[in-house]
Amino acid sequence: MADFNYNLLNHIDFPDDLRKLKESELPMICSELREFIIREAASNPGHLGASLGVVDLTVALHYAYNTPYDQLIWDVGHQAYSHKILTGRRKIFSTNRLFKGISGFPKMSESEYDAFGVGHSSTSISAALGIAVASGLKGETDRKVIAVIGDGSMTGGMAFEGLNNAGASNANVLVILNDNNMSIDPNVGGISKYFVQMQTSPAYNSLKTKIWKALGKFKWIGPLARRMLQQQQQVLKSVVFRQSNLFESFGLRYFGPVDGHDVVGLVHIFNDLKAIPGPKILHVVTKKGKGFTPAENDATKWHAAPGKFDINTGEVFTTNSDVPESPKFQYVFGKTIIELAETNEKIVGITPAMPSGCSLNMMMKVYPQRTFDVGIAEPHAVTFAAGLAVGGMLPFVNIYSSFIQRSYDQIIHDVALQNLNVVFCLDRAGLVGADGPTHHGIFDLAFMRNIPNMTVSAPMDQVELRNMMYTAQLPGKGPFSIRYPRGNGTVIEWKKDFQEIPVGKGRKLNEGNDLAILSIGYAGNFVVEALEKLKSEGIKCSHYDMRFVSPLDHEILDKVAARFERIITVEDGVIDGGFGSAIAEYFASSDKKPSILRLGVPDRFVEHGTQEELYRECGFDSDGIIRTVHELIRH
C-alpha cells in the first residue's frame, strides 16, 4: 500500500521477478508480503490467518518451480493471497472479493497462474493427478505438478480417493501437506491426531536432528549424505514409529515433517524433490496467522478477518448505532437448538468442521456428548446422521448450503429413501456475498424439492426459523430441510414461544388486487419493502409467504389462480428448477393457467460482491421487484 515502503515487493509483478532475487533476500520478501496482506485485510477484510500461514511456502514454491508451466493447485484456495500478489495481481489486490474485483479464490479465467479453480475442500490431489497424467500423455515429462492441501482438507474422503489413485500411478505429482492443526476450527479425528504424532514425536525428531548435524561435519560427503537421508527417511521413521507410514501405504514417497516457515530451506527441499520422479508427499508444518500476533493467538477468529481492524493492536472496528441490531440467523439457530435439546433428549447436533461458523459450538458447550464435529466430511456427516436416526436419535445436521451439494447421494439414498427423521439446517443459503460462486448456496431449493419424502422449507425471519426447527423435531416429520441466509435477520425480538407450523402451509402477508406475489424464505422481506413503496403510488398487490417448496400449499395456489391473471415469484435461489418452477409446474397441470414471471438467480454463475449488490444485479431486490410490478401493470 502507498503508506508503506516495500523495497522488494514493489519490484515483483510476476514469479520471474521473484526468481531474480538472491536466496538471502527471500526472508525479506516474505516479511513484506505479510505486511502487505495484513494492511490490505485491515481495510478490506478477507481470509487473513489462512494466507499468512503459507507466505513462506508460497514464495519457496514460485522461486523453485517454473510457474505457470509447472502447475500449482491450491486446495480450497482461501490461503492463496500471497500467490495472487506474486502472480500479477498486486496492483489490483485492493479489489479482492469486491464487486467486479478479483476473486478471493484461485480462478482459471483470472490468471494463467491459477491452474485450477477451487473453493471447496479436498479437490486438489485429484485435480493435480489429472493434470499430471494429461501432461504425461502429451509427452511433457519435464512439467511438475504440485498440490497444496491443508490437514483440515485431508480429512475429506475425496483427498484419500486422490491419494489412493495417485499412489497406484507413476505420475510426477507432489502433494504438499500444509499442517497447522486447523481448518477454520481446530481439526478433529484420527487423521489430525496422526499428524500431530508425526510432527511431535520426540524420538523421531531428536534422532533425525542428531544424524543431520553429524552428517554436516563431513565437508565433502555431508551434502550428498543429507540428500540421501531426505530421500530415505522412511527407514528412520519405521525404526521410531514401528509402524507403516500412512502415505507410504498409499504408495507415495513421504518426506518430512519440515519447517514451513524456513523459506530458504524449503527452496532447497523443492529443488531436491524435483529430481525424484513419481508421486510423493511433503509434510510441512506451519502456524496459521504467522506474523500477526492476534491471528496466531486466535486462529479461528482470524481465519478470515472479522472486520476492519487496527494493524497494530488487532482491535476490530465497530460502528456505533443506537438502533438495536437484529441477530444473525446462525446465532438464532445456535440458541434455538439448545432450547429444543433441553426438552427433547433425542436431539443431537452434527456439523462438518464448521461449529463456530454455524453456531453449533453453543450446543457443544452445553451438551458436548450430543454434539459432533465430524471434520470436513459432508457425505459422512449425512450418513452418520442417518445411522443416529436409525438408532433412535433425532439429528440436526448443520451444513452450509454450498457444501450440502457434496452429500447429495447420501441425502437421497441414506436418508430420504428410508424416510428417516433427519433435519438439515442449511446455513448460508442464497447469495452469500464476497466468497462468490463457489460458496453461493443457490441450488438447494431446486435439488431438494425433487427428493421424495423431503420437506423443503425456508423461513422469512428468525421467529419462523425457530418455529420450523421446532416443527421439524415433532414426531413423524421425516426428512426435513430448513434453509436460511448468511447474516442478520429482520426481527429484533426473536425469542418467542414455539409454535408448530403446519407442513405445506403458507401465509398471506398483504392484500391487494393488482397482482399476486409469491415468495419463499428471506427474499420475502424484499417484497414487503417493495410493496410499502408501491403503496404510495396506489399499487396494491397480494403477497403470500409460501414457507414450503415441498409440499406446496395447493389451497393458496388455487385461490391465487382464481383471482389473478398475473403472478410474480421471488426466491434467493436459481430460477431454473427452483421455487418459481415448482409454481409453474403446478399451474401447468391445472385448469387455471395464470401468467408467471419468476425472479431469482439467473441461469449463470453469479460472481462476488456484497449480498445487496448481488441481489440488485440479479433483479430481485426491492427495486427489481418494483420494476417488475410496473412492467406487468403497464402491459
CA distance linking residue 546 with residue 520, whole number of Å = 6
User: Cβ distance 441 to 402 under 8 Å?
Assistant: yes
Asked if residue 15 lies in contact with residue 72, where contact means CB atoms within 8 angstroms, the answer is no
Contacts of 234 (CB under 8 A, 6+ apart): 245, 248, 253, 254
Cell digits for 354? 464448521
Positions annotated as catalytic residues are: 288, 378, 406
- Report the C-alpha gap between 596 and 575 in whole angstroms: 12
Pairing of strands 516-519, 566-574: parallel
Q: Concatenate the DSSP letters of all residues of 553-610 into one string.
A: -HHHHHHHHHH-SEEEEEEEEESTTSHHHHHHHHHHTSS---EEEEEEE-SS----S-
Contact 103, 92 (CB under 8 A): no
Q: 10 Å Cβ neighbour count for 345? A: 11
Question: What's the distance, Cα to Cα, between the start and end of the chain in Å?
Answer: 53
CA-wise closest residue to 240 among 197, 204, 199:
204
- The CA distance from 608 to 185, in Å, is 24
d(CA 328, CA 359): 10
> How far apart, in whole angstroms, are the C-alpha atoms of residue 622 and residue 523?
9
Cell of 499: 409454535
